[in-house]
Amino acid sequence: MVIPLSQIDTGEKVRVVWVASQSDMARRLEDLGFTPGEEVMCVLRGRPGGMRAYLVQGAVIGLREPNSREIFVETARSD
């Protein structure tokens, strides 16, 4: 199932499907590692509507909720 990154729980691992931001922000997010196929995990959630921290490509990146709503991910499957 594809959902916005903002909806995942702390500790949940997902895979990026696409970034639906304006072109400048989409490029910035991709430069930070939010590229299709990349695995991402939420490591910290602030207050509702605030910042969240995600582990991507070995780095912890803080995003505002509006930006994390523009990154669409699929939940990891248990094999």
CATH number at residue 23: 2.30.30.90
Output the DSSP codes for 1-52: -EEEGGGPPTT-EEEEEEE-S-HHHHHHHHHTT--TT-EEEEEEE-STTSEE
Q: Summarize pLDDT for 18-43 with one digit per residue, the tens.
A: 999 899 999 999 999 999 999 999 99
Which tokens belong to 28? 């910035």
Q: What confidence score (pLDDT) does residue 78 get?
A: 53
Q: What confidence score (pLDDT) does residue 77 get?
A: 62
Q: Residue 73 belongs to what H/E stretch?
A: strand 71-75
Number of domains within the chain = 1
Select from 28, 66, 62 the least CA-distant residue to 45: 62
Q: Which amino acid would we find at residue 3?
A: I
| Global pTM value | 0.89
Q: What confidence score (pLDDT) does residue 25 get?
A: 93
Domain hosting 34: range is 2-75
